Amino acid sequence: MSHFVSLKYFSSKEISEMLDLAAQMKKNPRISKNLLEGKSIGLLFEKASLRTKTAFYIGAQQLGAKVIYYSPQEVKLGQREEVADVARTLSVYLDAVVVRTFSHSNILKFSEISSIPVINALSDLLHPSQALADVLTIQELKGSLKKLKVAYIGDGNNVCNSLIYAFSILGGNLHLAIPKGYQPYQSILDEVGSYHRVSGAKINLADSVSQAAKDADVLYTDVWTSMGKEQEKGERKKAFKNFRIDDKILKVAKADAIVMHCLPAHRGEEITSSVIDGENSVVFQQAENRLHTAKAILAYNLRRKKNE
């Protein structure tokens, strides 16, 4: 497939190739120039975005492509117009479309119909482009995932799901500290078990935040309440009150542990200002890498489409 819907559709070799391409583009921006000259990329976003929109918009431009952005009110997938009709229409205008939507089913329907590459820029189930940037950041600062202990603390959301796929395919030790009732889908945990036999990965559900964070090389968190779940905010604040990264938890990890957050951050909830602004934080290097991995995703998958 030429779509970038989920990391589970890519081999370890293919994911590594995208990561290597992103690293090369970061090191030498000149290799990106005109790589997608003459191409037209659409950004179809149902959900608000800062980093993802900027990364794919500027990234496509730096690759030499022309870009058109569709705001949340313009298309309204499945409401104003059927998903299949939008996919067929954009397929005759564009060379690739980056879709950010509430429902993962919209991504699946879109990619089934589309004859051009579909890039998942976030759904309620997955956020694969974020996970790719996360892995790039960890590799830059800490080396191979297989030698590290990475602790994810917070909600078993779309970011968490994509990190599970990334670590399971590439190999790595991911420890999850997540309140009961908010853990990742069991179907995903069951599915990745087959990957572990090949990659040697270990995905562990920790009993407590301190257990997950103990001697960790990486601490990672995300907001307690994602977009689209605002009505659960009060309930979630109660459930997650002890699932934050603060100075106490930071001291449990290794002294040189890095702290990651995909942003936006709700300071004082999932992470304290002292930690996110502290010397262990690499949050904005992580944000920068969204640009380089977005460029790599576009270039890699459009090239795959060309070669099919």
Find the farthest-apart pair of alpha carbons in the chain and give their distance in angstroms, rounded: 55
Task: Return the domain boundaries, the chain.
Answer: 7-126+290-307, 128-286
Would 7-126+290-307 and 128-286 be classified into the same CATH topology? yes
CATH 1.10.357.10, applies to 7-126+290-307 = no
CATH of domain 128-286: 3.40.50.1370
CA distances from 129 to 153, 254, 255, 297 (A): 20, 27, 29, 8
Render pLDDT for 28-59 as a digit per residue (tens, 0 to 9): 999 999 999 999 999 999 998 999 999 999 99
Eight-state DSSP code of residue 15: H
DSSP string, 100-158: E-S-HHHHHHHHHH-SS-EEE---SS--HHHHHHHHHHHHHHH--GGG-EEEEES--SH
What pLDDT was estimated at residue 80? 86
Active site residues: 100, 127, 130, 222, 262, 290
**pLDDT of the residue at 129:** 98
Nearest C-alpha neighbor of 236 from the set 176, 155, 168: 155
Q: What is the pLDDT of residues 234-261, one digit of tens each?
A: 999 999 999 999 999 999 999 999 999 9
Q: Measured between alpha carbons, how far is residue 204 from residues 17, 36, 82, 172, 196 in Å?
A: 27, 41, 40, 11, 12
Mean pLDDT, 10 residues at a time, the chain of 308 residues: 92 98 97 96 95 98 98 87 96 98 96 97 98 98 97 98 98 97 96 96 96 98 92 96 97 98 97 98 98 98 73
pLDDT of residue 305: 63
Q: List the beta bridge partners of residue 271.
A: 245, 267
- The pLDDT, as a whole number, for residue 2 is 86
Q: How high is the pLDDT of residue 308? A: 58
Confidence (pLDDT) at 229 = 86
Q: What is the pTM of this model?
A: 0.97
End-to-end Cα distance, the chain: 9
Measured distance CA(5)–CA(195) in Å, rounded: 18
